[in-house]
Amino acid sequence: MNGVQYLTEIKVRGYHADFYGHVNNARYLEFFEEDRWAQLESKIDLKRWAAQGIIFLVVNINVNYRLAVPVGETLLVTTDVEKIGKRSVVLQQKILLKESRKVAADALITFVIADKSGRAVSMEGEMLQQIEKLRQIEPV
């Protein structure tokens, strides 16, 4: 993970926790989403895309919960491109304990880009170039 720019750092608060004092499984999805948005906003003009009626739709999420995370822990979230297809993109996301860099959870998230009708569009030309920017790792 050296050289990765961490756009999302999250301090685990009491409202993130379940009955057992650990991060609730549904909160991990919010943490992943927070970093996806941070990554997209840092590399793609989302306002321009929205004005054109282009949206991102998550169509599949597979999460592995690796460690129980207690209240008070600070987390780092990463997003990397696993695969870019003609109509979908698979992202690999990780939630790390800030101090130890141990992986608390990881996920594969598949999304499509849809038009105003909600149909997935083929990614090509300028759109594909914009998506390719997600592959670029920026220095810390």
pLDDT in tens, 96-130: 999 999 999 999 999 999 998 889 999 999 889 98
Instruction: Tell me the C-alpha distance between 83 and 110, whole Å.
Output: 9
Is residue 48 situated within a structural domain? yes
Bridge partners, residue 80, by sequence:
92
Q: pTM of the entire structure?
A: 0.89
Give me the DSSP letters along 108-123: EEEEEEE-TTS-B---
Confidence of residue 4 (pLDDT cuts 50, 70, 90): low
User: Does residue 17 belong to any structural domain of this protein?
Assistant: yes
pLDDT band at 136 (very low <50, low <70, confident <90, very high): low
Q: Which domain holds residue 129?
A: 8-135
Mean pLDDT to the nearest integer, 17-29: 94
Is the residue at 1 inside a domain?
A: no
> What is the number of structural domains in the chain?
1
CATH code at 93?
Answer: 3.10.129.10
Q: Is 18 a catalytic residue?
A: yes
Q: How confident is the model at residue 33 (pLDDT cuts 50, 70, 90)?
A: very high
User: Which residue among 18, 45, 106, 115 is the active-site one?
Assistant: 18
The b-or-e profile of 93-127 (16+ CB within 10 A means b, else e) is bbbbbeeeeeebbbbebbbbbbeeeeeeeebeeeb
